[in-house]
A = this chain, B = another copy of it.
């Protein structure tokens, strides 16, 4: 799914779609407006995409493809899984700021797509979550994180916390210092909450 293979028009249409969706909302956007924004004929859009939902899902998939590649390369050079988790959290929140229109489309518009919520098989999204799972697993092997912690639950807890903070930032248009504080505080809660505690084993916690 490299951009090279699909060509510059394909990419321009997706970039235009992000702008139009962010400005008018997914439901109110028309293919013709995306065409004008991209500087192509409306008919050209149908050479690449079946319909508006298809464009939205392509925005999601191709952005996520790129993000996953960048994050994975970035984490490669960081040996301590705690530092990798901090970096992952920081990067997720920094992306909101650097790609605000895209973030708005992915946080707010995408979830209004009935097709996305009902039919989409979230392969690439699971790949993104699995970056978190791999960090946890590596930390478990190294004796840093608790071995009884479920990868599936932890990765969703981390993503859910990030996602809620992101939605709050996008919808309330808070300033950037909120994202900085959130990165530091979320990292600490989610790391210390997963770490093996030093000293004598604590009594098993029960509800």
Binding site for B on A (CB under 8 A): 25, 27, 86-87, 90, 108, 111-114, 117-118, 149-150, 153-154, 156-165, 168, 181-195, 197, 199, 205-207
Closest to A189 in B: B193
User: How far is it, in angstroms, between the C-alpha of A184 and the C-alpha of B153 when the chains are bound?
Assistant: 10
Residues in B whose Cβ lies below 8 Å from that of A199: 199
- Cβ contact within 8 Å between B112 and A114: yes
Measured between beta carbons, the chain B residues less than 8 angstroms from A27 are 114
Q: Please give, as numbers and ranges, the residues of chain B lying within 8 Å of A25 by CB-CB distance.
A: 114, 118
The residue of chain B having its C-beta at the shortest distance from the C-beta of A83 within the complex is B207
- Answer whether A181 and B205 are a contact pair too, CB < 8 Å, given A112-B111, A114-B27, A189-B190: no
* Residue pair A207, B184 in contact (C-beta under 8 Å): yes
Pairwise interchain contact B160-A165, C-beta atoms closer than 8 A? yes
Other-chain residue from B90, B108, B163, B164 in contact with A117 (beta carbon distance below 8 A): B108
The CA of A201 and the CA of B113, in the complex, are separated in Å by: 48
